[in-house]
Amino acid sequence: MKNFKYCLTLILISAIAVTLSACGGNAKNAEAPEKKSEVKTDTTVTAQELIAKGMSEDGFSYEYVLTMPNGDKTTNKMWVKAGNMRSEMENPAGGEPILSIVNTQENAVYVYQPETKQAIVMPMEDSDVDTTSPKDYLGQADPDNMIFSSKETFEGKECLVYETKYEGGKGKIWIWEEYGMPLRVETENGQDKIVAEFLNFKIGNVDDSVFQLPEGTQIIDMGSFTQ
């Protein structure tokens, strides 16, 4: 009988030990969901630092594609350097693209007409040439009003994506992490959405000759006709 009681006691102790072990295992498993792997949604560079990096760049080229709410698109090839801008827009009449050269130091816009080899020059405020550059979007951005959203690849370039808000609407901006230049900008106002894209973006290697009119161009000063 003693042996039987002894064996029974061992069985009970073993059963309790197994039960406690199982409970301990469940307790550890219960803690596992709390130790989720965190997805990093932050970045070591601030929006202010990123904007400053982009504003310091000088000398770049890109294709500027602007998509309006109705789906209409305009595409310009652009070169920017030291306050100068060259724009080549597709000619609706066919033939050579419409060439415009902007000189901010002179506050002048030259519009070249390849058929006549003439260029009309006028003050920037009197011109309807789109002089928007990536730096304009950076200059208008408010770092305190930019919420980091994610990291994404746009045209093979690593971008930091920020959500923005402004009076009457909201937006989203993709900023090239390496150079601080915006590559895509979305602005929404109600149902209307405008998308600006800077494609095939290249930094540097912009020669000063890019901002010169073709040799032999006759310049017509529109300002003299309005005075």
The pLDDT tens digits for 37-48 are 223 345 678 999
Identify the pLDDT of residue 118. Answer: 94
The one-letter amino acid at 156? G
The pTM is what?
A: 0.75
The pLDDT tens digits for 6-19 are 333 333 333 333 33
Query: Which of 15-19, 124-128, 141-145, 153-157 has the highest average model confidence (pLDDT)?
Result: 153-157
With a cut of 70, say whether residue 220 has pLDDT above it: yes
Q: Report the SS3 class of residue 156.
A: coil
Q: Which domains does the chain have, with CATH numbers?
A: 47-204+214-222 (2.50.20.10)
pLDDT band at residue 178, thresholds of 50, 70 and 90? very high
Alpha helix stretches (DSSP H) within 32-159: 47-55, 134-140
* 140 close to 157: Cβ distance less than 8 angstroms: no
Identify the pLDDT of residue 209. Answer: 94
| Residue with more model confidence, 99 or 3 | 99
pLDDT band at residue 92, thresholds of 50, 70 and 90? confident
The pLDDT tens digits for 36-84 are 222 334 567 899 999 999 999 999 999 999 999 999 998 999 999 998 9
Work out the burial of residue 193: count CB atoms within 10 Å of its CB; fewer than 13 is exposed, 13-18 middle, 19 or more buried.
Answer: middle
Task: List strands edge to edge, sheet with 182-189.
Answer: 146-154, 157-166, 169-176, 182-189, 192-203, 60-67, 73-81, 84-89, 98-103, 108-113, 118-123, 218-221
With a cut of 50, say whether residue 138 has pLDDT above it: yes
